[in-house]
Chain A
């Protein structure tokens, strides 16, 4: 890591400073919020990974042909592929 990254003007410096400030907040109010949030998160409905994965896969397959970067659309239809500027009718 170069020293430039730790200079005061860089976000990395701000990140490290913020981390120091924010760790260790263990007040009662904060903890109550944490517990409330965890209770909420624990209560949501979930599906099995097999079902979720099947749906992700299904989406990919259904949309594969409409994905130019996946199918490698030819130069005539991809405006970026030809090196020269295209003329659009």
Chain B
């Protein structure tokens, strides 16, 4: 009951009030500019016809749930990682496996291809992100050249090289994101702001500058300045964990997929959510989202084993794709937009076009 405690409590209460006031002001400012809905603006745009998209390749070889995948810039190679600790590099055209590495941990939740195509990064329950240079010699043991880059204090949920092989961005169950120098393993910048596990991240298209977006179990999607570590914008409209975030190809918006069974589109210049992609009949969470090259289509992989294809402008579903026999856990459109790949808890990956 020291007299010093009273001012401290007052200040805390003061700050809480100020934070509530600021939050309301933020909502007010955003609402002032909410003069129309995206789908209303898009009324005059021609509707999309029927889509014929089928599984064109099935990649079999993982012994357990596929958790993550990424395309190589050469538009044909793919890296995937699985619950059983295996990381495989495939040629998606021929379905041949080119490399395989066994990680020392299970649940390899994140994997990424280096921009040069010469290395892959991966990690998961080991709390690390490791880089494996890919050898041209198929007999060489990849694990021998492994380089430990990132160290978090909880599981690694996502990783991505920046626009070179030299830096990696990671997100973790420890609630932070971090930027690392691959060569030295040095932490270059850390990003604090999420109140719970960060589950996903995506880098802005290189033309739009040094920012990235992350999504977490705190239902927030945060946009960060990579150089300063500052959170520039924050969006909290989802009703549950955000499992996936992906930039719109122009860099002016991003989509998110959540356990609340919806995908949403947030415009960065309007600083608000501008579309929700949902249906009463869709009740299972979205694990992964990605856009087609023009940004007109949004593909979502769901926990009910399906892929829903959405018309981004009109907000309607244009197609539903079946094929996987368990949850779709990961989904990426190829670099040239000719196909997209999905990975599933049914142990397979599928290429759709």
What is A's interface to B at a CB cutoff of 8 Å?
Answer: 9-11, 14-15, 18-19, 22-23, 25-26, 28, 31-32, 34-35, 37-42, 44, 46-57, 59-64, 66-70, 72-73, 78-81, 83, 85-86
Contacts and interface: CB of A to CB of B under 8 A. Distances in A.
A12 B250 CA distance: 33
Given A28-B8, A46-B271, A52-B274, A60 B109 contact: no
Interface string B28-39: 011001111110
Interface string B332-343: 010011111000
Given A28-B12, A40-B230, A66-B294, A79 B34 contact: no
Contact of A61 (B37, B45, B269, B274): B45
A79 B16 CA distance: 58
B175 to A, nearest CB: 6
Contacts of B195: 22-23, 25
20 contacts: A11-B173, A18-B197, A18-B217, A22-B175, A22-B196, A46-B269, A47-B270, A52-B267, A53-B36, A53-B274, A56-B295, A57-B41, A59-B248, A66-B293, A66-B337, A67-B294, A69-B292, A69-B333, A70-B294, A78-B338
Contact of B76 (A50, A67, A70, A79): A79
B277 to A, nearest CB: 14
Given A31-B16, A42-B29, A85 B94 contact: yes
Contacts of B272: 49
A53 B234 CA distance: 19
A79 B93 contact: yes
B36 A49 contact: yes
A10 B105 CA distance: 12
Given A11-B109, A49-B35, A49-B270, 14 more contacts: A18-B197, A25-B195, A35-B19, A47-B33, A52-B269, A56-B312, A59-B250, A59-B294, A61-B45, A70-B48, A70-B292, A72-B51, A78-B353, A80-B93
